[in-house]
Structure 1
Amino acid sequence: MTKKTALRMLGIATFSLLVASCSKSNNYKDNSRATGWKVNAKEGGPRGVADYQEQETGPGLVFVEGGTFTMGKVQDDVMHDWNNAPNQQHVQSFYIDETEVTNFMYTEYLDWLKEVFPPDDENYRAIYKGALPDTLVWRNRLGFNETMTENYLRHPAYAYYPVVGVSWVQAVEFSNWRSNRVNEFILEREGFTARGARYDVDASSTFDTETYINAPTLAYGGSDSLARGGKSSDQRMKRNDSTDIFVQRKDGILLPKYRLPTEAEWEYAALGLTELRSYNVYRGRKKYPWDGSYTRSSSRRTRGDHLANFKQGDGDYGGIAGWSDDNADITAEVKSYEPNDFGIYDMAGNVSEWVADVYRPIVDDEFNDFNYYRGNVYTKNAIGEDGKIKTVTVDSIVYDTLANGSVIARNLPGQILQVPVDEEETYLRTQFSTSDNRNFRDGDKSSSRYFESFGDDEGEEEPGKRMYNSPKHSVTADSASGSLDRQYDESSDRTTLINDEVRVYKGGSWRDRAYWLDPANRRFLPQGMATDDIGFRNAMSRVGSKSKGGKRPR
């Protein structure tokens, strides 16, 4: 070997060692950048999830990469109501249901409630009854719709049709139930809870995600054999990881909550990405979830086919039987029409869909243009006198009586009792000052020009000059007889139906003309009411990176 060759090999070896040492020192996941200590060392020290990849996509969901878009009506406003004026918004990445929640999905929820909280038990009767969809929404005084009234929810022919007759409140409760069942399954799948734990429960031993995270010893009603009866928990105990026997948020195993999408998220997901941008220039000229300005397909193979299920004219809910028919007169089975660019079905037509927002005519983009949402009511976990978290028991279930007389369980056994935030959280904060922010900057006293002369009580001066003086119906229950006293507001001074209890729904339905298929259009309904053309789908927040797989140069 020549001296020159030897020097060359020595240089290569030295360079390789330098590269290796640099790459090792630059791997911030191996060593703490705060202390320099090795992460996940056998001797102890800081712990981290070294093999964490990204958030698991929950059952039924598809990923939607967030971004900037024009929220609101970009076409002509033929109604001249201007309650959806265009405004620029940005939404974070999120997940949304591929289809609307179906009858089968909802009856799975009902069957679980029926098994865990038997309706023949007087203590739980209102839980199951309060979750039942209103099948009478199909009735029409001049129409024969009893077939749907009797069959739509339960008959297998409609199993994969979107559920209807569900109020906004019921949709929220379904979302909470779904969150718990999915995370309960994940814990069992990963071996942290006992095998079959999700089946071995009753009213006093149900699983709740937030309870498991914040007070794990109270999960499953305090049953250790269920909450930490899996192989993974045993392995942690053998390693003396006594503080980490239970899964925590830092493990990255549990999913965020299923919830209703915000109006901004729903509209962004409905629009898809086609025809919205040209490279990095935002165009925003979008009328429907699909390409073009027509409701029939222009594709060579499917030319002339309907792209959604909607009412085409007076007495025309499905078209002329045969080729021109859209194959549905009422709702249609999910996935009957092509999805949009995000892979989401029926974002126009079939049924309209509840979103999370409280309705106001104006979207206040001047105050916020990031993850816009009106409806925040901040709460915190209730703490008992012993300093421990208070959970709901079978004897402390709280029920709400809605304006239409429906009785809904506000919480279920096993959940953490929630109370409004107080001065401990709000003192000297600039982001929020109260627990209930639903009427912030629009409909509250301080935003009314009659601020000095109106109040919530009818007896106060000039009550008719309130900004949103909607009717105030009330229902009270007689504790002795159990009957309901319904008080209907017959005042002739009411000028609006808007209040903090009305929610936005979007999307157009089988009952609507093509005008309502525009994702920008918005309507509202009291959150305790239901119809035969409003359903819902769930969403889930994305944690971590904005996109899947990162971005690469073109």
Structure 2
Amino acid sequence: MKILFTNTAIVLVIATLLSSCFFNKHPKSQKTGIPYNDKKYGYQKFRQTHPAPGPGLVAIEGGTFVLGGSADQDINFEYNNVRKRVTIPAFYMDETEVANQDWLDYLHWISATFPTDHELYYNALPDTLVWRRPLSYNEPYVSNYLRHPAFQDYPVVGVTWDQAQDYCVWRTDRMNEFILQSQGKIINPRAAKATAGAAAANAQKVPFNTDMYLNNQFRGAGIDGKKMTADLNGKPAAGSKKAVRPVTVEDGILKPAYRLPTEAEWEYAALALAGNTQFENITDGKIYPWNGLGVRSAKKATRGLILANFKRGAGDNGGVGGYLNDKAFITAPTRSYQPNDFGLYNMAGNVNEWVQDTYRQMSFEDVDDFNPFRGNEFTDKRLADPATGKYAKDKYGRPIKDPAKSAKKMTYAELIASQTAAATPAAPSKDPLAGKAYNADARGFLDTVNTSLYGTTTLVSNHSKVYKGGSWNDLAYWLNPATRRFMNEDDASAEVGFRCAMDLVGAPEIHPGGKPHFSVKKAK
């Protein structure tokens, strides 16, 4: 009898488990109870992810710090870094500066993808003439610095702010394209079989672009891969058994765009105060990316070694032969010296680095205290067909962007009208602000500088972009992360390079282990 009861109990347990699995096969909405990922209802829920950083990036846990607070001089250059407490959200940043080899990869892709577009290739070339000086023999660097393999891991220089922006767009598209090709979501025409390779190459007449792909404008025979995502609400294409769709943002597969870091992000990342904090207390401030007031290592094994690549004094770019102080006369490889507490190399010296901000002397007083930035140029993607939402694209397959037309979400009628050449004029309004044009350029935010006077009364304009960090040809003062200088966005220098950043989506805490947390009930 006891055995019979036991067997019956086992059967009941198994039946309960099977029933539970059957009825809980799909997660349900917490607010409506409707099952997700069920064809009968068509609602989708995607696996919650915290995506890893893109290639080359490290995670920077954000926090509060004093912008300009590391300046150690009583008289700072141009009085342009007044101290202000701000908060920087967590983000990703390149471990190293962009190197010559990275830029050669970019040039190679252009020449292979657009072999007859000589203008595009020429515009992407760094200005190697930045090495020339009237009274200095630098011709070997003009000829060799960019392309010779001996310099392949040295930071790229001679790159304008505009060129750095274009590189970020290219890098984003190549990263996301590779992700989709690796997962079989799209076809790699170069890896396609010989019989289908020509068709795939012909189908992909324009290169992959992330925005176009996400807008369902990079599809078709020779593009769609064999492992595309199932579409619960779609219909199978002719000759196919199941409906499929491209990857969307909600899938969490594609990564955010590469970009230049903001000035505040760059300064925060350079200081790396997380290495000197405990329980929200900063135990030791910094005036350089490393601890201490000096520029030499205090560690026993490396005592006396210079901690960055900079100019120690007039006529001293490297030290005495036989015992060079920083072991570099010009730039050094991007993985030189010790990284800071965030794991970033050469955040002082080697090359100055472009940041995203437009320069104003009083920016630190003007900007918001959360994620401060000056340089917003709000844009809208131009619609080729407002009814279908298809983007207009240029000859390189990228969406055409226009200045934003509104500071808030427009009504659908306004959206259609804004995309129509012959838009109907709006009716007169009693609102005193009605009819006032929306200015999508917020770079100056109520700045009244007259750009027509650029070069006459001031060298500062909306084309002036910030660079930071000090270089191989700068004195130690410029190694301080609070120092800031500017240059025209279409100018270049042998002392200026750059590194990229990326937005971090999701929870901001990078290393939650070993820290106290509240216990929270999980959703059913």
Provide the rounded CA distance (Å) in 1 between the counterparts of 2:77 and 2:474. Answer: 18
**In the alignment, is the contact (CA less than 8 A) between 2:353 and 2:467 conserved in 1?**
yes
Q: What is the CA–CA distance in structure 2 between the aligned matches of 1:259 and 1:206, rounded to whole Å?
A: 20
Counterpart Cα distance in 1 of 2:122 and 2:133: 23
Kindly indicate whether the alpha-carbon contact (under 8 Å) linking 2:273 and 2:286 is maintained by their aligned counterparts in 1. Answer: no
- Is the CA contact (8 Å cut-off) linking 2:28 and 2:36 kept in structure 1? yes
Tell me the residue number matched to 2:415.
none
1:536 maps to 498
Alignment partner of 1:191 is 2:188: no
Do the aligned partners of residues 283 and 503 (structure 1) sit closer, same or farther apart at CA in structure 2, a change above 3 Å counting?
farther
Q: Distance in 1 between matches of 2:371 and 2:445?
A: 16
Partner of 1:317: 317
- Structure 1 position 417 matched with structure 2 position 400: yes
Equivalent pair of 2:82/2:365 in contact (CA under 8 Å):
no
Gaps of 5+ in 2: 2-8, 193-199, 411-430, 517-524
CA contact under 8 A between 1:179 and 1:257: conserved in structure 2?
yes
What is aligned with 1:465?
none
Q: Secondary structure at the match of 1:89?
A: strand
SS in 2 for 1:231: coil
With 361-370 and 328-337 compared, the bigger mean Cα shift is at 361-370
2:197 maps to what in 1? none
**In structure 2, what residue type is equivalent to 1:225?**
A
Q: Secondary structure at the match of 1:384?
A: strand
Aligned with 2:467 (options 505, 523, 544):
505
Shift of 1:39: 2.4
Opposite residue 400 of structure 2, the aligned amino acid is L
Q: Residue 294 of structure 1: SS of its match in structure 2?
A: coil
Q: Which residue of 1 aligns with 2:489?
A: 527
For the 8 Å contact 1:71–1:87, the answer to whether it is kept is yes
Provide the residue aligned with 1:281 in structure 2: 281
Do residues 32 (structure 1) and 32 (structure 2) align? Answer: no
d(CA) in 2 for partners of 1:543 and 1:512?
36
Counterpart contact for 2:128–2:143, Cα < 8 Å: yes
Q: Pick closer, same or farther for the CA change 1:207–1:365 going to 2, 3 Å.
A: same
- Aligned 1:5-84 pairs, distance under 5 A: 30-41=27-38, 43-50=40-47, 52-74=48-70, 75-79=72-76, 81-84=78-81
Counterpart code for 2:442: N
Determine if contact 1:194/1:225 at 8 Å carries over to the other structure. Answer: no
Q: Shift in Å at residue 470 of structure 1?
A: 1.9
1:152 partnered with 2:136: no
Provide the residue aligned with 1:391 in structure 2.
Answer: 392
- Residue 286 of structure 1: CA displacement? 1.4
Matching residue within 436, 445, 449 for 1:440: 445
Is 1:303 paired with 2:303? yes
Q: Spell out, residue by residue over 1:346-368, the C-alpha distance to the aligned partner (whole angstroms, 9 max, x if none).
A: 00010000000000111255651
Instruction: Assess, with a 3 A threshold, how the Cα gap between structure 1 residues 247 and 56 changes in structure 2: closer, same or farther.
Output: same
Q: Amino acid of the residue matched to residue 210 of structure 1?
A: D
C-alpha deviation, 1:551, in angstroms: 5.8
Deviations 1:359-399 (A, max 9, x none): 011125565111111110111111235634343343xxxxx
Q: How does 1:97-136 map to 2 (within 5 A)?
A: 97-118=94-115, 121=116, 124-136=117-129
Identity of aligned pairs, percent? 40
User: Cα RMSD over matched residues?
Assistant: 3.3
- CA, structure 1 residues 201+147, in 2 after alignment: closer, same or farther (shift >3 Å)? farther
- Equivalent residue pairs, number: 466
Shift of 1:114: 1.0
Map 1:102-501 → 2, pairs under 5 A: 102-118=99-115, 121=116, 124-196=117-189, 204-214=205-215, 216=216, 218-219=217-218, 224-233=220-229, 242=243, 245-273=245-273, 276-282=276-282, 285-365=285-365, 368-384=368-384, 387=387, 388-394=389-395, 413-423=396-406, 425=408, 433-441=438-446, 443-444=447-448, 469-471=453-455, 494-501=456-463
**Aligned-pair CA distance for 1:277:** 3.2
C-alpha displacement of 1:300: 1.1
User: Quick one: which amino acid aligns to residue 373 of structure 1?
Assistant: F
Letter in 1 for 2:393: V
Residue 543 of structure 1 aligns with an amino acid whose one-letter code is V
Contact 2:228 2:246 in 1 (8 A): no
Q: Quote the residue 2:423 is aligned against.
A: none
